Amino acid sequence: MPVIMSAMNTPPVTAHKLVDAPTKRGLFLGFLMVGLQGFGGVLPFARRMLVEQHRWLSEREFNEVLSLSQFLPGPNIVNVSIIIGNRFRGPLGSIAATLGLMLMPFVIVLVLAALYARFADLAPVRGATNGVSAAATGLIIATGLKMAHPLKGIPWHIVMCALTFIAIALLRLPLLWVLAVLAPVSIAIARWMMQR
Amino acid sequence: MISSVLTELAWQFSLLSFLAIGGVNALIPEIHRRVVEMEHWMTDADFAQAFAIAQAAPGPNMLIVSVIGWKVSGLLGALVATAAICVPSSALTFAVAHIWDRFREAPLRAAIQHGLAPVTVGLVLASGYILARTVDQTWGALAITVATVAVTLATRLHPLLLLAAGAALGIAGFV
């Protein structure tokens, strides 16, 4: 059983017995359902599918996969599907999981876009779209505020967060340059604070 | 030339793929800067609509990229833009996943995670600000945004309900 073997290379973390490794088809279908369920964030649904429903991962394994996915660039949930697919079925497993994840949302969003283009002249359609984007903007601001909560009480975190906000939102500087300066500085401060 | 537009889409979004720390939500200001301000592929209003359509569909929040690709160059544009935002970062993830566990206890790994956290939060807050400036063109829209923030912070209502409430208010002519 390749799952258990690969799990043995890292410290054993499984609290409960994990089921057999999923097939490529299983990966595709599992992530297909995740893609269809997730509104306003797919990660909670991915966690439920992987940990609770299929038991492909333990809770701790999921958290480790998630922290790696968030650390690397790119859409977090896509990174999760890449890592999980690869862990069980190699590169083809990654492709099966990611295609499963993306297929239906991609089709649905294009159908919505085509419908919108066709009916954009109708006032209720425009109204609904404006209302959804206003609410969705609120969701993103709320996400940002929730993420900001743990920064409270760490002054240099607040300063780095504020500098990033000012550079991107107010000064409209290119992201590449902002990250090239602020990310190394922030990591250096973190390293220095940890060594003290 | 269609192919040059596709090449440009592929190029722009593959670059963004590597810059997307903290996911695609954190990328919105940069996407807006490139797509609306630099390339003039779409107007502010188009951008707000693409954002709304992407949010109304299930799945990862990177779908705004698919809608932008579709607007710029049809189905092929959507495929190219979506692949461009996914493939480079996925290839990196694939490569790094193998060596990551070996550095479980490495102090640098902790420093990187700890150091990037506030930058990521700043990026998401900047996204909210840029979106609010793009989307909230009326007092009604601004009120919906503010109410959504308040309700999200105070309750555990499903986000889909809040999007539906926004749609209903919009249809009622509130926006």
Express each pLDDT in B27-75 by its tens digit: 999 999 999 999 999 999 899 999 989 988 888 878 999 999 999 999 9
Cβ contacts of A106 on chain B, cutoff 8 Å: 59, 63, 66, 78, 82
Q: Say whether residue A173 is in contact with chain B using an 8 A CB cutoff.
A: no
Taking CB atoms and an 8 Å cutoff, what residues of chain A touch B29?
Answer: 168-169, 172, 175
One domain, residues A80 and A153: no
To the nearest whole Å, the CA of A181 is away from the closest chain B CA by: 11
Q: Which of A19-23, A41-45, B154-158 has the lowest mean pLDDT?
A: A41-45
Interchain contact B85–A (C-beta under 8 A): yes
The answer to whether B56 and A115 are in contact (CB under 8 A) is: no
In a domain, A50, yes or no: yes
pTM of the model: 0.83
For residues A111 and A29, membership in a common domain is answered with yes
Whole-number pLDDT of residue B7 = 94
Contacts of A168 in chain B (CB under 8 A): 29-30, 122-123, 126, 130
pLDDT at B148: 95
pLDDT of B139 strictly over 60 = yes
The reported pLDDT for the residue numbered A13 is 45
Total domains in chain A come to 2
Distance in angstroms (rounded) separating the CA atoms of residues A169 and A171: 6
Q: According to the model, what pLDDT value does residue A17 have?
A: 53
Region for A17 from its dihedrals, namely left if φ exceeds 0, alpha if ψ lies in -120 to 50, beta otherwise: beta
CA dist., res. B56 & res. B164, Å (int): 9
> What does the pLDDT read at residue B85?
95
The pLDDT > 90 percentage for chain B reads 61
Size of interface A-B (CB pairs under 8 A): 365
| CB proximity under 8 Å: B 121-140 to A | 121-132, 135-136, 138, 140
CB atoms within 10 A of CB A13: 13
Asked whether residue A95 falls in the same domain as residue A7, the answer is yes
Domain that holds residue A68: 2-115
- CA atoms within a 13 Å half-sphere pointing along the CA-CB vector of B26: 31
Q: Where are the alpha helices (DSSP H) in chain B?
A: 2-19, 28-32, 44-56, 63-100, 107-135, 139-154, 159-171
Q: Which residue shows structure tokens 């593959």?
A: B14
Task: Say if residue B23's pLDDT is above 80.
Answer: no
Query: Residue A131: its pLDDT value, please?
Result: 94
Question: How would you class A174 by CB atoms within 10 Å of its CB: exposed for 0-12, middle for 13-18, buried for 19 or more?
Answer: middle
Q: Which whole number is the average pLDDT over B86-111?
A: 83
Average confidence (pLDDT) over A169-184: 93
CB of B93 within 8 Å of a chain A CB? The answer is yes
**Inter-chain contact A132–B167, Cβ cutoff 8 Å?**
yes
For residue A13, being part of any structural domain is answered with yes
Task: Answer yes or no: do A106 and A146 share one domain.
Answer: no
Across A76-85, A133-142, A159-168, B104-113, least confident range: B104-113
Higher pLDDT among residues A49 and A64, named by residue:
A49
- Subunit contact B118:A140, Cβ cutoff 8 A: no
Of the candidates B25, B22, B26, B29, the residue with the CA atom closest to the CA atom of residue B130: B29
**Is A68 within 8 Å of chain B by CB?**
yes
Contacts of residue A105 in chain B, CB cutoff 8 Å? 57-60, 63
Q: In the predicted model, is pLDDT for residue A1 greater than 50?
A: no
Query: What is the model's pLDDT at position A183?
Result: 92
CB contact under 8 A, B149 and A101: no
Would you state the structure tokens that stand for residue B168, as one six-digit string?
């209903």
Q: How far apart, in whole angstroms, are the C-alpha atoms of residue A76 and residue A85?
A: 14
Distance CA B68, CA B41 (A): 8
Q: How far is CA B52 from CA A40, A68, A140, B148, in A?
A: 12, 29, 12, 15
In angstroms, rounded to a whole number, what is the distance separating the alpha carbons of residues B89 and A108?
Answer: 24
